[in-house]
C-alpha cells in the first residue's frame, strides 16, 4: 500500500486530507540509528535533528510502522556490543600497532620513541575484577565465624570506671 504524499512531503491522512503544513524535514535514519546505538535520548535526538520528540515519534511510526521505543531498542544493541567489546579490550589489553614507512620499517621520532598508529592497551586489573563479578558471578565475600567454623561467641565485658 503506497502512501499518498503531498508535494511538500506531508502524508495525506484523515486528519490532514490535503497533506498541508510546512515541508517535512528530511531525516537520515542511519544517523538516527547511530544515535540510538550511542544511547542518546529521544529528546537529544530530536534536538539534534531540529524537530520535537513528538514529531520524531510520529515520523518513526510513519516510516517504520513501529513506536520510537521499539526502533530505539532495535538500534541500541550495536552500542551495547561496542561498549562490551571496549570493556573486554580494557580488561585484557591489546597489542599496539606501530606506524611504518613505505618499506615496512617502524617509524621512530628524533627522541627515539615509536610512533603509534594505535597505542597498546595494558591489561586493567580493575576491569578484570569488575567483569569477573558481572560475567562470572564472582563475589567479594567475607564471612566471619567462631572457633572451628561455628557461630561467633559474644561476651559482655563490664568496665569499672570508678578508679
pLDDT digits (tens, 9 = 90+) for 119-140: 999 999 999 999 999 999 898 8
Q: Strand 116-118 and strand 97-98: pairing?
A: antiparallel
Q: What string of DSSP letters covers 80-116?
A: HHHHHHHHHHHHH-B--EE-B-TTSPBPB-TTSPBPE
Predicted confidence at residue 163, as pLDDT, reads 61
Other C-beta atoms closer than 10 Å to the C-beta of 118 total 11
**DSSP alpha helix (H) spans, 93-163:** 125-135
User: pTM of this prediction?
Assistant: 0.53
31: left (phi over 0), alpha (psi -120 to 50) or beta: alpha
3-class secondary-structure state, position 46 = helix
**What ranges do the domains of the chain cover?**
1-92, 93-138
DSSP assignment letter at 155? -
3-class secondary-structure state, position 75 = helix
8 A C-beta contact, residue 93 and residue 126: no
Predicted confidence at residue 24, as pLDDT, reads 78
How distant, in Å, are the alpha carbons of 34, 42, 56, 72, 75 from that of 29? 9, 13, 11, 11, 11
Q: What are phi and psi of 131, to 5 degrees?
A: -65, -35
Low-confidence ranges of the chain (pLDDT < 50): 6-7
Residue written as grid cell 620499517: 105
- CATH number of the domain at 1-92, out of 1.10.10, 3.50.50, 1.10.287, 2.60.40? 1.10.10
Predicted confidence at residue 7, as pLDDT, reads 47
Amino acid at each position: 500500500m503506497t502512501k499518498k504524499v503531498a508535494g511538500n512531503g506531508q502524508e495525506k491522512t484523515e486528519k490532514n486530507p490535503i497533506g498541508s503544513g510546512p515541508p517535512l524535514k528530511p531525516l537520515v535514519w542511519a544517523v538516527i540509528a547511530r544515535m540510538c546505538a550511542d544511547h542518546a535520548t529521544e529528546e537529544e535526538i530530536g534536538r539534534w535533528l531540529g524537530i520535537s520528540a513528538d514529531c520524531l515519534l510520529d515520523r518513526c511510526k510513519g516510516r517504520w510502522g513501529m513506536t520510537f521505543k521499539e526502533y530505539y531498542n532495535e538500534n541500541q544493541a550495536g552500542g551495547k556490543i561496542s561498549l562490551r567489546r571496549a570493556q573486554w579490550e580494557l580488561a585484557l589489553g591489546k597489542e599496539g600497532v606501530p606506524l611504518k614507512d613505505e618499506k615496512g620499517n617502524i617509524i621512530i621520532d628524533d627522541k627515539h620513541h615509536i610512533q603509534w598508529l594505535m597505542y597498546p592497551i595494558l591489561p586493567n586489573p580493575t576491569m578484570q575484577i569488575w567483569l569477573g563479578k558481572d560475567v562470572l558471578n564472582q563475589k567479594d565475600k567475607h564471612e566471619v565465624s567462631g572457633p572451628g567454623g561455628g557461630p561467633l561467641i559474644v561476651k559482655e565485658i563490664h568496665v569499672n570506671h570508678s578508679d
